[in-house]
Amino acid sequence: MSWKPDMMNSRMPVQWFTQQYNTHKFEYTTVNVVQLRFLRFHSHASFQHITLKCTGNQSSPTATAGLASWIVNLRGDSGKIIDSRLIAVSRKNCEVHMLVKVRGSTELRRGDMELLPVRDLGMELNSTPSNISEISLVLGPLCFL
């Protein structure tokens, strides 16, 4: 998926991907609700990789600083914002790699397992550098252990 910074609404504190495309949430066509419940029930942990990449004038220091200074929010399958303690983030130039890892706590109560898969991504933008023409989002596979 790609996101155009010029389409962002500067009046909103968090810019959500799904708002830009007028959709309810990210869809995963290879797994249905019943399969997802089964995987959650029989797993002790799950994880998913997410990558954000900006395109534009990469040689400009403001392009790199722009993406690095944005605060990324993730909304889980349960509709809740995923706590930042569950997200490992690494930033390099105009790329942000995130790993969301959640664990179940007991057999009856699955802990944070309902947070994955990621259903939306929002960014808190202080400013949008004019040299960033597009931000692409890649949702990695959802893995259960």
Domain ranges of the chain: 2-144
pLDDT value for 49: 97
- Residue matched to tokens 């968090």: 14
| Cα separation values, 9 from 12, 17, 85, 125, Å | 6, 12, 28, 10
Task: Per-residue pLDDT tens, the chain, 145 aa: give them.
Answer: 666 665 555 666 788 888 877 777 888 888 899 999 999 888 889 999 999 888 776 555 555 555 666 788 999 999 999 999 999 999 887 788 999 999 876 555 556 889 999 999 988 766 555 567 778 889 999 999 9
CATH code that applies to domain 2-144: 2.60.120.1000
Q: Specify whether the CB–CB gap between 78 and 115 falls below 8 A.
A: yes
| Cα separation values, 112 from 35, 73, 102, 144, Å | 17, 16, 6, 13
pTM above 0.75, yes or no: yes
